Structure 1
Amino acid sequence: MRARLLLEDGTECVGTALGAASEQFGEVVFNTGLTGYQEVLSDPSYCGQIVVMTYPLIGNYGINRDDFEAVRPFIHGFVVREHCDLPSNWRSASTLDELLREYEIPGIAGVDTRMLTRKIRHHGTLRGLITTADTPADELIHQIRRTPLLTDQVSRVSTKSVFSCPGNGPRVVLVDFGSKHGILRELTKRGCDVVVVPYDVTAEEIRRIRPDGVLLSNGPGDPKDVPEAIHMIRDLLGEYPLFGICLGHQLFALASGANTEKMKFGHRGGNHPVKELTSGRTYITSQNHGYAVTSESIVGTGLEITHIALNDGTIEGLRDLNRRAFSVQYHPEAAPGPYDSGYLFDQFLELIASTKGANAYAKTT
């Protein structure tokens, strides 16, 4: 079956339909990962987006039970150069095409993904649409240009109720803005007693849980579209050790008085170099974000820049020593990507331990 990808600038790509025979609108972005397409598809941070994979062959190791990063995908479309419909891997349980069909996600194969990537790098992210219908291109492009992007992605992907993953270690409240399972895995394998809460949780509700620390998860969209989270974080800052990841990093910055802005085409992939300023060491990181904290807005906030992206100099890490809080723009849980930065979860637990030790000492003096 024929499928088309149309962009707001008038571009039309014709290829072979992949997944659901339907029509879907979204923001068109690209991902530079060489592997990990299953984790990309199931990452809630892609809610509302059509993802172009720059690696030319996708689907060759199929889909398995264990590599999902959410209960279901929230991605709006998938674009590949070449789709492999005969995967070879001992864990494979289904094909990429079958997964997309199951969740009614349209895809397209056989298009020039290099051209699309260069176009996005030049113009910035573009609104687009994948369709299997024969509607005239002019009509569809007009429809794309007058359709606004989503602003409620976080409410779509966040858990609707509180749930816990018991452990014998410190109690961590994980605020779910679209959290990947990888974050929960990293906490539970360190023995944490994790309580997962919805994005619109209040500071008072978190206090009732009596946590030892608070982790702000990744998630989709513009952090300024989640004002209730900014107020909650501002209310809790300094009260508990706090760790922010990706969207959680941006929300932490906003709650501290800094500002964020939309990037031209964002960072998405498992191969982004980041420099840690204190050690001078470079880490290869997994990233997925379209917004960044602005450098000039850090002045006077009490925040300190800890990491920068080597490709474009944008902020990749922040900390506030006085309020026992830090954050990174990238994904230390990887999935997909390198595990170089997993030590950040250990730093979070060390911060919790030192805070509990200090509190215990204060009570005895």
Structure 2
Amino acid sequence: MKRQTAILVLEDGTIFKAWSTLPSCTLMGEVVFTTSITGYQEVLTDPSYSGQIVVFTYPEIGNTGINKEDNESLRIQCRAIILRNLCNFPSNWRLEQSLFDFAQKQGVPILYGLDTRQLTQHLRKVGAMNACISSETLTANALLPKLKKTASMQGLDLVQRVTAPQTYKWQDSNLNLNWYRQNSSSEKYSIVLIDYGVKYNILNYLSSYGYDVIVVPAMSTAEEILSYQPSGIMLSNGPGDPFAVTYAVEVIKDLLNTKIPIFGICMGHQILCLALGAQTFKLKFGHRGINHPTGIFQKVEITSQNHGFAVNAASEFTEKVRITHYNLNDYTVAGIAHKTLPVFSVQYHPEASPGPHDADYFFDAFLKVVKSAHENSTD
């Protein structure tokens, strides 16, 4: 593995020296950190990280290598990867290739050898910000002017970068894992998933419950979605600022009038809340990791999270919904349920892989709501 001297320059002028796996590379993006100890492959292939430079707080990454089964999308979605130590000799019975080879073939740089603890503490104090990685220009003064012109994550619609280009039916691809729960019902329900940057594991969970899953692009109209006669609608996760995805908000407003069950996850949660009249705001450094406590009334779930925006709890939309969960680290809204419609959402990932699985009961709840709505419509 060849290494190249490189630098990381933050928007506020802070500089970190490091090694890069790519000899000729200069790129910009929002730098964020994740506290995940495991599941680095799922993090890197999660479309919600589109446009971002991901810092892993865990000191050594790559120990178990990469395998096709654990991908959450077709490719690495983040712009660059920052590590303390990169494992050169991965070992696992499912190993197909190393993290180095995985990133190298896709042209995604890995920066390593820098103090990720110091970098994370700085981001916690100052906040997530744009940064530049370069193995070509090692002078910060030459990079800062370009960095200052880089668009902020706030106001960016990144959903159109990662959504499906056309409608497709999801085929069972990875249902051999023991935490998927099979639906014992003989009734077959059709679920339309609006793809804002969906993770494969959401689709796998839905398939394991016996649904026919139809994935539609984020720009689909309400008429197009309803043409599939869905028994339920899933709003997926995705990247960027939810407030900028105005077309999706307008579609959800129309779909709410149909009284079809709706379940939103992460970006889907935010878009649903915006459609209900809420406001969103950018978090200082976001929630990213698989150890975030959520709950209410002394009931706690440990959850996987990845988002840089949140719903404002002071929004007037609370007249229409009840808040079911808070993030117990900062008491931002983590879950809502509509008071009269079969509609609910969460600001985290109940389908989390490699875990935790405290919140996967939401898929059971969604099935019950879909069944109930279907039975009431046929009475």
TM superposition score normalised by structure 2: 0.92
Deviation per residue, 1:267-311 (Å, 9 max, x gap) = 00000011144xx42110000000000011045540110001111
Aligned partner of 2:332: which letter? T
Aligned partner of 2:217 in structure 1 is 198
Q: Is the 8 A contact 1:238 1:322 kept in 2?
A: no
After superposition, give the CA deviation of every residue in 1:83-136 in whole Å (9 maximum; x if it has no partner): 101101111111111111111111200001011111111111011011111352
Change (3 A) 1:94 1:19: farther
Aligned to 1:360: 378
Determine if contact 1:286/1:336 at 8 Å carries over to the other structure. no
SS in 2 for 1:34: coil
Which letter does structure 2 place at the counterpart of 1:67?
D
CA distance in 1: counterparts of 2:23 and 2:87, whole angstroms:
16
Distance across 2 between alignment mates of 1:19 and 1:191:
44
- In structure 2, how many angstroms separate the alpha carbons of the residues matched to 1:110 and 1:192? 46
Query: What residue identity is the alignment partner of 1:233?
Result: I
- Percentage identity across paired residues of the two chains: 45
Q: CA deviation at 1:250?
A: 0.2
Matched, 1:71 2:71: no
1:270 aligns with 2:290: yes
- Equivalent position amino acid for 1:312 in 2: D
Q: 1:259 aligns with which of 257, 265, 279?
A: 279
Do the aligned residues in 2 keep the contact of 1:45 with 1:221 (CA within 8 Å)?
Answer: yes
Kindly provide the amino acid, as one letter, of the partner of residue 164 in structure 1. K
Answer yes or no: is the 8 Å Cα contact 1:154–1:199 preserved in 2.
yes
Matched, 1:85 2:103: no
Shift in alpha-carbon separation, 1:64–1:212, aligned structure 2, 3 A: same
Match for residue 158 of structure 2? 153
| Whole-angstrom distance in 1 between the partners of 2:257 and 2:207 | 24
How far, CA to CA, are the matches of 1:332 and 1:20 in structure 2? 39
1:273–1:309 Cα contact (<8 Å) kept? yes
Counterpart for residue 246 of structure 1: 266
Partner AA of 2:107 in structure 1: E
Q: Distance in 2 between matches of 1:186 and 1:20?
A: 40
Matched, 1:215 2:234: yes
Q: Is the 8 A contact 1:62 1:88 kept in 2?
A: yes
| Counterpart code for 1:79 | I
Describe the SS at the equivalent of 1:339.
coil
Aligned to 1:164: 169
Q: In the alignment, does 2:206 pair up with 1:187?
A: yes
Aligned to 1:35, which of 26, 34, 38? 38
Q: Cα offset for 1:23?
A: 1.6
Contact 2:67 2:96 in 1 (8 A): yes
Note the aligned Cα RMSD (angstroms): 1.4
Query: CA deviation digits over 1:17-74, x for unaligned, max 9?
Result: 1357412210000000001110010000000000100000101111111100001122
Amino acid at match of 2:374: K
2:364 aligned residue: 346
Output the amino acid matched with 1:317.
G
- Which shifted more, 339-348 or 146-155? 146-155
What CA distance in whole angstroms lies between the structure 1 residues aligned with 2:287 and 2:46? Answer: 14
For the pair 1:46 / 2:64, whether they are aligned, the reply is no
* CA deviation after TM superposition for structure 1 residue 165, in Å: 2.7
1:125 is matched with 128
The verdict on how the C-alpha distance between 1:88 and 1:112 changes in structure 2, with shifts beyond 3 A counting, is same
Determine helix, strand or coil for the equivalent of 2:69: coil
Stretches of 4+ aligned residues off by more than 3 angstroms = 298-301
Describe the SS at the equivalent of 1:87: coil
User: Paired residue for 2:306?
Assistant: 288
Aligned residues of 1:20 and 1:106 also touching (Cα < 8 A): no
In 1: Cα distance, 2:46 partner to 2:307 partner: 12
Q: Is this contact kept in 1: 2:22–2:135, CA < 8 A?
A: no
Letter in 1 for 2:62: G
Partner of 1:137: 140
CA separation in 1, counterparts of 2:27 and 2:108? 8
Q: CA deviation at 1:211?
A: 0.3
TM-score normalised over the length of structure 1: 0.95
CA distance in 2, matches of 1:346, 1:118: 39
Task: Determine helix, strand or coil for the equivalent of 1:353.
Answer: helix
- Counterparts of 1:225-244 in structure 2, within 5 Å, are 225-239=244-258, 240-244=260-264
C-alpha distance in 2 between matches for 1:182 and 1:94: 21
CA distance in 2, matches of 1:263, 1:193: 36
The gaps in structure 2 that reach 5 residues or longer are: 173-186
1:203 offset after TM fit, Å?
0.4
